[in-house]
Chain A
Amino acid sequence: MKSKNHVNKSIIQLLFSCFAIALLSGQALAETGHGEEAEHGEEGHIELTQEQIQHSGITLVTATSGTIRDVLPVYGVVATNAERVQSVTARFDGVIREVKKSVGDPVRKGETLVTVEANESLKTYSIVSALNGVITQRNANPGEQTTDTPLLVVQDFSTVWVELSIFPKDVAQVELGQQVRVLSLDSTQITEGKIIYIAPLGQAGNQAITARALIDNPNGIWKPGLFVNAQITRAEIAAPVVIRNEALQIVEDNPVVFVRGEEGFEPRTVTLGRTDGELSEVVVGLSADEVYVSKNSFILKSEMGKEDAEHGH
């Protein structure tokens, strides 16, 4: 009964081949699901060849000591220096005989501004300026009788105040004598001053406290009433280890710097101290003279996490 055997055989054979096809299809499908698994050296270490470093545009920098300017940015308004204003009034009431200056005229200290003929003595006397400044108000004309209102106001703009609004969260950090950098809105004009006054009273409306900085205004560019940007320098700290801010990456909620070690780059969690726009102080985690990745540090972060990168739907 060889033929029967053959029949059985052929059935088995055919079955086998069809199942093989089915299995193949499954396996081939499974094959497509595998992503590429990147290989790394030790855990956490990222090994890069010199060529790779070059291609990816990574720059290496040595950690050094440095100075960090810790600043507090605030908005401010330029105001007249209230201590440099003279309201010109007549010592003895009388008839104004002559007014020598008009609004906008510059005056020098000791210059005659107004002559008045006193009512009582009928003598004419001069009133002189006590300041170097500019006439900003004129309420007097020849022939008029003097009243209680000031005849002229002279203001000295060679120094001005900048009234800074300090909001509750920052109040504690502002002290008398701190250096202030004042910038015009378009940042073309910059000058420095010091905080001379912190108001003891708050403003109900915006919960702010006014701090006052005195700045020099030799060319009169800081016009009272204008808004300005200001930065209060809280401290200039010489830190033993500073790094460039672009070197910092956040990995699992912690700031991390990629440090060059013997076996490639090591992501190192650091504790940061003060920081400004460019530099940050490293308190723990990095010592001076260690070499870290500054520019394109993100590429290392991406290299670290790329195994998990996927394109899901």
Chain B
Amino acid sequence: MIDKLIQFSIARRWLVMFLVLVIGALGVWNYQHLPIDAVPDITNVQVQINTEAPGYSPLEVEQRITYLVELAITGLPYVESTRSLSRYALSQVTVVFEKGTDIYFARNLINERLQQAKSEMPSGIEPVMGPVATGLGEIFHYAVHAKPGALQENGEPYDATALRTLQDWVIRPQLRLVPGVTEVNTIGGFEKQFHITPEPARLLAYQLSFDNLVAALEKNNANIGAGYIEKNGEQYLIRAPGQVADIPAIEKIIVARRDGLPITVADVAEVGFGKELRTGAATLDGEETVLGTAVMLLGGNSRTVSQAVSAKLVEVNKTLPEGVIAEPVYDRTVLVDKTIATVQANLAEGAILVVVVLLVMLGNVRAALLTAMVIPLSMLMLMTGMVQTKVSANLMSLGALDFGLIVDGAVIIVENCILRLAGRQHHLGRTLKLDERFQTVFAATREVFTPSLISVLVVILVNLPILALTGVEGKMFTPMAMAVIMALLSALVLSLTFVPAAVALFMTGHIEEKDNFIVRHSKRFYAPVLAWALKFRVLVLSAALIFVVLVGALATRMGTEFIPNLDEGDIAIQALRIPGTSLTQSLDMQFQLEKAVLEIPEVKTYFSRVGTAEVASDPMGPNISDGYVMLKDHSEWPDPDKTKAQLLEEIGEKLSLLPGNAFEISQPIQLRFNELISGVRSDLGIKVFGDDLTQLLKSGGEIAAVLNGIEGAEGVKVEQVSGLPILSINADRSALYRYGLNVADVQDVVAAATGGEEAGLIFEGDQRFSIVVRVAERVRGDLRALERLPIPLPDGGYVPLREVASLTLAPGPNQISRENGKRRLVVSANVRGRDLGGFVAEVQGKVAQQVKLPPGYWLEYGGTFEQLQSATQRLSLLVPVTLVMIFALLMMTFGSAKDAALVFSGVPLALTGGVIALWLRDIPLSITAGVGFITLCGVSVLTGVMMVSAFRDELNRGESVEQAILGGAMLRLRPILMVALVAALGFLPMALNTSTGAEVQRPLATVVIGGIISSTLLTLLVLPGLYRLAWRRPKAIDNNGEPIAE
């Protein structure tokens, strides 16, 4: 079949060229549609259901909302797990679906069920699904602020409320229209509200209640359509407007009549603009601000979308009143551009180096260019493949590509073609005829086709275990493996079709096959060395063996990390204060923080979100703030030699000056990912499920005590669920009985007084603002004033609140977490200095022995140890399978276990070079380095196969073993050097680059370059000796060596 394919390609060379052109064009077209981002998206398929419930405490939120939502979700298909969080005024249920579930389908399912749940919820409560976005969705932040001295129309300076109004009604609606934007989230400022603040004593004086006031407002603020009348053939529409429009109009609303005189709102209350009870705020450089965030639709191209948002924002700014600006503070384009530029530079420079190598080594411009053509073509095919398999272009997926490896197959074929064509010309003493040329090209291709096929297959095989990774690791590395596999397959197909066709087409005329300067010198140098290596083969082999052992020991002592972190260029600082910290206090502390950090000259801006934004995709309490520190461009730093690590240290010092805050320093995207995928992030998480919070806490404490007594446990933590100060106003039923009051009478007054009661809307064009009845701030903030809040009696008169209710201040639940429909508490611990499996087994045993759980309570063990176990299990199955498959592949090629083993033996020595290179550059072992080792396996097998098959060919020609080895090795010196050079040089820019994103690719490139050096040495010096040892007596070899091609 392969033969036919090659023959067809040569015969129909023009057709092949045309097809290649079409495929290339297709690739270009697909490139336009390829999602591009800096890092792979590791968010799972999840839907967040957020329900706002102003005024509800965590307990009520759980009971009245969360439970209902969870109940509705139960039994949906494809659901992997649900978890929920109930905190003040917010219920968030996160439903995680199985991998591969269509998000729109999932949302549809949920939507259906939510409709039912809604009917059982308190009126006015509306569950909403979070935006269709992922952790990479927050691509653009902007701050709305006023220039100093800018005044509003009414002559007052812009305050947080005015800016928020502009954001809500001018900026946001426009930005939401940008294609690819699914949501524009707002945090900070105050929603404009009309506040009616009644004076309790005045209400008393007129014998009025809050209800009377609210009712009066509602009755005097509505437009009514009253149908139409017909008159003289015309139709008159009738409307009866009655909406109030401004503060004076509200003040004139009549609440009651007393002694024939109307009592208006103004008589009992103050009317003015007020501040909402907000759950979040935003800061910019130590001042309050309004922060908008554009959230990208799932699957969008973050670069194009954030560019579009950026362009739109410029337009929007023109529509803002003078002196107010909406200024971008974070733009993902910057990072993506930088990263992509790094990748592009690496790829382009690598490609150029490869072409140069080809030119030098082949000594034929046409052949070199032809081979180099494989690079762009396979890239374009890869683009098509990536769009089809929905793999996004990013640092990880494109980062592992090595053009050297891609062109290896083509290099070997072209090299051999030239060799054979020149040989034939030389033999015949004339240029070849068309059919002679075709025949030679076919034979030459056929001859070396096996090694290149094998090498590609080997690389694909070693990538398979990566495809089997699940969870975050899977999301991170599967695209990488996919991209490598697709690129190699493309290159393979091209070297079977395009390359022979092009060679047949373009390699006309006289072909000079002569070794150039480098190859000549190499050969001259190689011959005596090879002879020496053969002579002292036992010594060489033992030395290699010792070397491998030593390097293996070195590898175990090297530092390790998971993935080298992408340096996003900016810093995220999460500041945590104790639960119960008020928003105002939290803001004050945040201001101090920002001012301190801004003293560092490298910091450009520092903006933060404190608490929860309008769309609660990240429900933080007011005690937590997510801060983004944007740094100046490195060139603007006062000390250009300063490293980021130094800067981080400096920031850490500044932060340590501010007591009362705990900090976690990371990077913007990293932070968001951690928030979205968070489950239990410790080694071991013991989840206690049950109903009673106190019991959960008690059992949690007991488990923590057990954990602390076990060797190796570190950082044992019981989930923080309490600590929110709660003022309970418990109605005294017997007192209510005496006064003839209902509990609701008391509750309503308390709610209206402290939380406020909505009493309609005020319309200003599209803009609508709530009217809220709420007691003045000085009364709300004073416990003693609250205590004597008058409760009106049914028969007139009043009684102060404290007479009918007791007010107690006590810490209550801060948040209630549930998982899969049950309350849960997590006790987490990390393990140091002992093996995780043994630790977990010991914990399980001791906990079962020492902790007695009441009926209805149970435990679950989770944490990263689970992932680790499943990954280990998977790999311990897959790695041997892979190895066996590689071996089988080699067996099939050579039909000899001995030869296969010989080729196989090259792998460890190839790896040694990688390890040493890492060690020399002081780079820790990581998964990216691991991918480098995988690539090495491929290269090493490729050169090994080339070498061994050359030996066999020579042997088959009847040469003695010694002669066969010498001849074969000399013959293959050039292609092996070429393969090694292109693979190593292709990665060189990647290994040396220092721009954004380079740190992720550096280990990989380093490993490959180091490994190729050792692998080449091995192939050239150790393998011949090994072969000589293995085939001590020359023996006939079956000539069925290449069954794969049949």
Residues of A bordering B, CB below 8 Å: 2-4, 6-7, 9-11, 13-38, 46, 48-49, 51-52, 55-57, 73-75, 167-169, 185, 203, 205-208, 226-229, 250, 253, 277, 298-313
Q: Provide the residues of chain B in CB contact with A305, threshold 8 Å.
A: 578, 723
Q: Do B552 and A16 touch (CB < 8 A)? A: yes
Most chain B beta-carbon neighbours within 10 Å: one of A20, A36, A37, A302: A302
**Known A13-B911, A49-B657, A313-B83; 9 more pairs at CB < 8 Å:** A6-B545, A11-B883, A22-B871, A25-B562, A185-B199, A228-B201, A229-B201, A298-B585, A306-B576
Does B353 reach chain A (CB closer than 8 Å)?
no
Q: Do B905 and A28 touch (CB < 8 A)? A: no
Q: Do B562 and A24 touch (CB < 8 A)? A: yes
Q: Provide the residues of chain B in CB contact with A51, threshold 8 Å.
A: 657
Q: Do A35 and B664 touch (CB < 8 A)? A: yes
Across the interface, B1030 reaches (CB within 8 A) one of A3, A18, A24, A253, namely A3
Q: Do B592 and A56 touch (CB < 8 A)? A: yes
Q: Do A302 and B581 touch (CB < 8 A)? A: yes
CB contact under 8 A between A14 and B907, given known A2-B541, A313-B675 = yes
Report the minimal beta-carbon distance from B845 to chain A, rounded to whole angstroms. Answer: 22
Closest-by-CB residue of B relative to A310 is B720
Q: Do A306 and B907 touch (CB < 8 A)? A: no
Q: Provide the residues of chain B in CB contact with A56, threshold 8 Å.
A: 589, 592, 658-660
Most chain B beta-carbon neighbours within 10 Å: one of A11, A33, A74, A308: A33
Q: Do A306 and B1026 touch (CB < 8 A)? A: no
Q: Provide the residues of chain B in CB contact with A15, threshold 8 Å.
A: 879-880, 883
Q: Provide the residues of chain B in CB contact with A21, threshold 8 Å.
A: 875, 927, 930
Q: Do A29 and B933 touch (CB < 8 A)? A: no
Q: Report Cα–Cα, A3/B577, bound state, in Å.
A: 63
Closest-by-CB residue of A relative to B94 is A313
Q: Do A206 and B720 touch (CB < 8 A)? A: no
Across the interface, B1029 reaches (CB within 8 A) one of A2, A38, A73, A301, namely A2
Query: What 0/1 pattern do residues 698 to 736 of B give for CB contact below 8 A with A?
Result: 000000000000000001010110010100000000000
Q: Provide the residues of chain B in CB contact with A206, threshold 8 Å.
A: 739, 793, 797-799
Does B770 reach chain A (CB closer than 8 Å)?
no
9 nearest A-B pairs in the assembled complex, by CB-CB distance: A28-B562, A302-B660, A26-B868, A309-B576, A299-B660, A6-B905, A305-B578, A227-B205, A306-B662
Q: Report Cα–Cα, A73/B788, bound state, in Å.
A: 8
Q: Report Cα–Cα, A16/B553, bound state, in Å.
A: 11
Q: Report Cα–Cα, A208/B481, bound state, in Å.
A: 82
Closest-by-CB residue of A relative to B466 is A21
Q: Do B784 and A309 touch (CB < 8 A)? A: no
Does B513 reach chain A (CB closer than 8 Å)?
no
Q: Do B868 and A25 touch (CB < 8 A)? A: yes
Q: Do A311 and B574 touch (CB < 8 A)? A: yes
Q: Do B739 and A207 touch (CB < 8 A)? A: yes
CB contact under 8 A between A30 and B830, given known A10-B907, A309-B576, A313-B83 = yes
Report the minimal beta-carbon distance from A169 to chain B, rounded to whole angstroms. Answer: 6
Q: Report Cα–Cα, A31/B205, bound state, in Å.
A: 65
Q: Report Cα–Cα, A46/B797, bound state, in Å.
A: 52
Across the interface, A32 reaches (CB within 8 A) one of B205, B660, B681, namely B681
16 contacts between A and B (CB under 8 A): A3-B1029, A9-B545, A18-B879, A22-B875, A25-B562, A29-B472, A33-B681, A35-B662, A55-B592, A56-B592, A227-B204, A298-B660, A305-B723, A308-B720, A309-B577, A313-B94
Q: Provide the residues of chain A in CB contact with B904, threshold 8 Å.
A: 6-7, 10
Q: Provide the residues of chain B in CB contact with A10, threshold 8 Å.
A: 904-905, 907-908
Closest-by-CB residue of A relative to B559 is A24
Does B620 reach chain A (CB closer than 8 Å)?
yes
Does B604 reach chain A (CB closer than 8 Å)?
no
Q: Report Cα–Cα, A23/B876, bound state, in Å.
A: 12
- Which positions 923-941 of chain B face chain A at CB distance < 8 Å? 925-927, 930, 933, 937
Q: Do B875 and A18 touch (CB < 8 A)? A: yes
Most chain B beta-carbon neighbours within 10 Å: one of A51, A226, A312: A312
CB contact under 8 A between A302 and B883, given known A2-B1026, A32-B681, A207-B739 = no
Report the minimal beta-carbon distance from B309 to chain A, rounded to whole angstroms. Answer: 28
Q: Do A167 and B905 touch (CB < 8 A)? A: no
Across the interface, B577 reaches (CB within 8 A) one of A57, A169, A302, namely A302
Across the interface, A302 reaches (CB within 8 A) one of B661, B782, B864, namely B661
Q: Report Cα–Cα, A9/B472, bound state, in Å.
A: 32
Query: What 0/1 pattern do residues 620 to 661 of B give for CB contact below 8 A with A?
Result: 100110000000000000000000000000000000111111
Q: Do A30 and B1030 touch (CB < 8 A)? A: no
Q: Do B911 and A17 touch (CB < 8 A)? A: yes
Across the interface, A55 reaches (CB within 8 A) one of B562, B657, B682, B898, namely B657
Q: Provide the residues of chain A in CB contact with B624, threshold 8 Å.
A: 309, 311
Q: Provide the residues of chain B in CB contact with A311, threshold 8 Å.
A: 574, 576, 620, 624, 675
CB contact under 8 A between A29 and B802, given known A24-B925, A308-B578 = no
Closest-by-CB residue of A relative to B541 is A2
Q: Do B683 and A302 touch (CB < 8 A)? A: no
Query: What 0/1 pattern do residues 869 to 885 of B give for CB contact below 8 A with A?
Result: 00110011001100100
Q: Report Cα–Cα, A17/B560, bound state, in Å.
A: 12
Q: Report Cα–Cα, A48/B785, bound state, in Å.
A: 36
Q: Do A26 and B867 touch (CB < 8 A)? A: yes
Q: Do B560 and A27 touch (CB < 8 A)? A: yes
CB contact under 8 A between A9 and B809, given known A24-B927, A36-B663, A298-B660 = no
Q: Provide the residues of chain A in CB contact with B883, threshold 8 Å.
A: 11, 14-15
Does B678 reach chain A (CB closer than 8 Å)?
yes
Q: Provide the residues of chain B in CB contact with A299, threshold 8 Å.
A: 589, 659-660
CB contact under 8 A between A25 and B802, given known A16-B552, A52-B657, A55-B596 = no
CB contact under 8 A between A34 and B715, given known A22-B872, A29-B562 = yes
Most chain B beta-carbon neighbours within 10 Å: one of A24, A35, A167: A24
Report the minimal beta-carbon distance from A104 to chain B, rounded to whole angstroms. Answer: 19
CB contact under 8 A between A75 and B581, given known A307-B662, A311-B574 = no
Query: What 0/1 pattern do residues 856 to 900 of B give for CB contact below 8 A with A?
Result: 000000001101100110011001100100010000000000100
Q: Report Cα–Cα, A226/B202, bound state, in Å.
A: 10
Does B836 reach chain A (CB closer than 8 Å)?
yes
CB contact under 8 A between A9 and B864, given known A24-B562, A167-B803, A303-B659 = no
Q: Provide the residues of chain B in CB contact with A73, threshold 8 Å.
A: 784-785, 788
Report the minimal beta-carbon distance from A265 to chain B, rounded to whole angstroms. Answer: 9
Q: Provide the residues of chain A in CB contact with B879, threshold 8 Å.
A: 14-15, 18-19
Q: Provide the residues of chain B in CB contact with A24, threshold 8 Å.
A: 560-562, 925-927, 930
Closest-by-CB residue of B relative to A35 is B664
Q: Do B465 and A300 touch (CB < 8 A)? A: no
Q: Do A207 and B561 touch (CB < 8 A)? A: no
Q: Do A303 and B660 touch (CB < 8 A)? A: yes
Across the interface, A30 reaches (CB within 8 A) one of B678, B682, B798, namely B682
Q: Do B803 and A169 touch (CB < 8 A)? A: yes
- Which positions 564-590 of chain B face chain A at CB distance < 8 Å? 574, 576-579, 581, 585, 588-589
Across the interface, A3 reaches (CB within 8 A) one of B623, B660, B898, namely B898
Does B1019 reach chain A (CB closer than 8 Å)?
no
Q: Provide the residues of chain A in CB contact with B867, threshold 8 Å.
A: 26, 29
Closest-by-CB residue of A relative to B593 is A55
Does B810 reach chain A (CB closer than 8 Å)?
yes
Q: Report Cα–Cα, A74/B799, bound state, in Å.
A: 11
Does B121 reach chain A (CB closer than 8 Å)?
no
Query: What 0/1 pattern do residues 465 to 494 of B give for CB contact below 8 A with A?
Result: 100000011000000000000000000000
Does B901 reach chain A (CB closer than 8 Å)?
yes
Across the interface, A226 reaches (CB within 8 A) one of B205, B577, B898, namely B205
Does B921 reach chain A (CB closer than 8 Å)?
no
Does B831 reach chain A (CB closer than 8 Å)?
yes
Q: Do B1026 and A33 touch (CB < 8 A)? A: no
Does B548 reach chain A (CB closer than 8 Å)?
yes
Closest-by-CB residue of B relative to A47 is B659
Q: Do A3 and B905 touch (CB < 8 A)? A: yes
Q: Do A309 and B579 touch (CB < 8 A)? A: yes
CB contact under 8 A between A55 and B662, given known A24-B562, A24-B926, A26-B871 = no
